[in-house]
Amino acid sequence: MFSRIPISAIIGLTITSLFLLTAAFAPWLAPYGLAETVGGVWEPMSSQFWLGTDNLGRDLLSRMIYGARTTIFIALLATAISFLVGSILGLTAAVIGGWLDALLSRFVDLLMSIPTLIFALVVLSVLPANLLTLILVMGILDATRVYRLARAVAVDINVMEYVEAARLRGEGRVWIVFREILPNALTPLIAELGLRFIFQVLFLSALSFLGLGIQPPDADWGGMVKENKDGIIFGIPAALIPAAAISILAISVNLVADWILNRTTDLKGGRSGQ
């Protein structure tokens, strides 16, 4: 089985796991503390500070490692929320149908007719600036996309014979959603998982870059770009390092997601030939 994994997916898997391991073991890997001032401002790369120091003289490598933890952890939580909310509502809407389906679907249409970033800015202008709010806003706004996918998949499954059979033998709606439809809708949903995670990473980075995400002294990669951006015009590339890390993470997850997506369409005899 493993011999059939394309080289791009192997690269993606390797880099993604490296990032995940870094995030998991951040405190043991980082040579210095998160908010510890260890040198001068924007020192160049050296054997002591592998990536140099940042705008306040903190070790950039250590902050990158802690930043990996913050970025990945929050993006994962937000993805989990968007999947939980989106798929449960989407499956329920498809099974129950009628006015509930119409109401939820039109509300999702409405939410999606405003660009996500713009609506997030509107909501964040009044909500308190803390981690919980941030994760909830990110998760709920993105749940709209999961909802659409889950509902579309579930509507197809809902008319299958085995669902009909379950209905006729008198199973309740909860059983039908969780035991009949969910297992069969899982494959396309999992393929979507990677893409939603990338979106959350980019979304969080954009919010933090605009100063509305993670608040200092904690750092995620987007916030670190913001902290170090003033150095760019003096030719100090410190801000490019966290920005590059975001890109590499996004590209490698994309490679993995692409492979899973192709595999699932293969299974269904779908569009992989094109």
Instruction: State yes or no: residue 127 binds other proteins (CB under 8 A).
Output: yes
Q: Is 3 in the site for other proteins (CB under 8 A)?
A: no
What's the rounded Cα separation, in Å, for the pair 52 and 239?
11
Q: Applying CB under 8 A, which part among 37-45, 55-63, 85-93, 118-126 lies near other proteins?
A: 118-126
Write down the least CB distance from residue 141 to other proteins, Å: 11
260 binds other proteins (CB under 8 A): no
Q: Should residue 146 be labelled a site residue for other proteins when binding is judged by CB under 8 A?
A: no
d(CA 59, CA 241): 13
Please, what is the minimum distance in Å from the beta carbon of residue 186 to other proteins?
25
Q: Which of 75, 68, 50 is nearest to 238 (CA)?
A: 50
Q: Which residues, at least 6 apart from 140, have a Cβ–Cβ distance to it below 8 Å?
A: 81, 82, 85
Shortest distance, CB of residue 274 to other proteins, whole angstroms? 7
C-alpha–C-alpha distance, residues 62 and 31, integer Å: 6
- Measure Cα distances from 101 to 46, 146, 154, 158, 260 in Å: 59, 15, 12, 14, 30
Is residue 150 within 8 Å of 185, Cβ to Cβ?
yes
**What would you report as the CA-atom Rg of the chain, rounded to the nearest whole angstrom?**
22
Q: What is the closest distance, in whole angstroms, from the C-beta atom of residue 181 to other proteins in the complex?
A: 30
In the bound state with other proteins, the residue whose beta carbon lies nearer, of 166 and 240, is: 240
- Of 84, 100, 110, 165, the one binding other proteins (CB under 8 A) is 110
134 lies in the binding site for other proteins (CB under 8 A)? no
Residues that bind other proteins in the complex, under the rule CB under 8 A: 110-111, 113-119, 121-128, 198, 202, 205-206, 209-212, 222, 225, 229, 232-235, 237, 239-240, 243-244, 246-247, 250-251, 254, 258, 274
